[in-house]
Amino acid sequence: MNKFLNQKYNYSLSFWEVIACFILVLIAQVAGGIVGFIFNYLGLEDLGFVLSFLTGFSLALVLLFYLKKLPFQVYKDMLLTGLKWKWWLLAIGIYASILPFSEYTTSLIPTEGIPFLEEIYQGFIETFKIILSKPISAFITICILAPILEESIFRGFILQGLLNSKTHPIWAIFFSGILFGFAHLNPWQFIGAGILGICFGFIYWRTGSLLLCIFLHFINNFISFVFSLKSQNVEEPFFEENFLLIGSSLLLFFILIYTMIKITPHAHLRYSESK
């Protein structure tokens, strides 16, 4: 019997169940969109933007926990696990060292020359300009609600469920990260968010700390929010295209990954059967 499941997270998810959960998340976003539309119609655009996101992801999270009959105590345990400062410092280094590579791979997707991509990109840019024009509601949604709710669903529920099902951690982390990228519904964030989702998934697997992933997600969104708000240009890259920087940061990334594996040797015990 799996001791980790007995103690805290007594549920598992197959790949097909994860896909069903992801579809449920997308459907819940439709409900959130309806709420946003109502408030926009009433002339309360700022409140509508926040409530739209909050309603969609909160509804999805509540439904997922309800379908698996998970008590709130499970969520509390997820937040309070893995609170070791060495893990946090190492995780920050892992996150920071993958950023140049993430931005570079995102830049490889063309934004012009291909008509349908041009349309998607222009819509993406215009949407973000509208969001940034309402800085208070944008901060609440992007920097507070998104890290908490998205990490709770994609790392705390989906990745945890895959790991509990004895799916190999590499496949579980990769699959949940890809779904996280896809949830952003545009090619550019699919790449960037997908890479970060895989990075956060690895950190969650080794530390078991949902709060740590929420913190890293907050840092990422806060930096992007402040940088975009200050420059008033969401298209401006944060890093210059410097292959020496990308190569050295990737080398550091893998060194830190190896170090994280070495200092968290107990991680596999949470997902393997005890004798």
Q: Is residue 166 part of a domain?
A: yes
Rounded alpha-carbon distances, angstroms, from residue 191 to 59, 188, 248:
26, 6, 21
pLDDT digits (tens, 9 = 90+) for 137-161: 889 999 999 999 999 999 999 999 9
**For residue 4, pLDDT beyond 50:** no
> Which range has the worst mean pLDDT, 2-6, 10-14, 175-179?
2-6
104 in a structural domain: yes
Does residue 9 lie in a domain region?
yes
Boundaries of domain holding 164: 3-270
Q: What is the pLDDT of residues 157-189, one digit of tens each?
A: 999 999 888 888 999 999 999 999 988 877 777
Alpha-helix residue ranges (DSSP H) falling in 68-155: 72-80, 85-107, 115-132, 135-139, 146-151
Residue 139, domain member (yes or no) = yes
pLDDT one-digit tens code per residue, 239-267: 667 788 899 999 999 999 999 999 887 66
274 confidence band (pLDDT: 50, 70, 90): very low
* Within-domain flag for 52: yes
The answer to whether residues 267 and 205 touch, using CB atoms and an 8 Å cutoff, is yes
Please count the structural domains in the chain: 1
SS3 134: coil
Residue 275 belongs to some domain of the structure:
no
Residue 42 pLDDT exceeds 90: no
Q: What does the alpha-carbon distance between residue 112 and residue 193 come to, in Å, rounded to a whole number?
A: 21
> What is the rounded average pLDDT of the residues 114-122?
78
Q: Is residue 253 part of a domain?
A: yes
Is the pLDDT at 2 greater than 50? The verdict is no
Query: Lowest mean pLDDT: which of 63-67, 79-83, 84-88, 159-163?
Result: 79-83
Q: Is residue 216 part of a domain?
A: yes
Separation in Å, CA 23 to CA 16, 20, 30, 162:
11, 5, 11, 16
Q: Looking at residue 119, what is its pLDDT?
A: 80
Can you tell me the distance from the alpha carbon of 262 to that of 170, in angstroms, rounded to the nearest whole number?
A: 17
Whether residue 270 contacts residue 205, with contact meaning beta carbons closer than 8 Å, is answered with no
Looking at residue 266, its pLDDT comes to 64
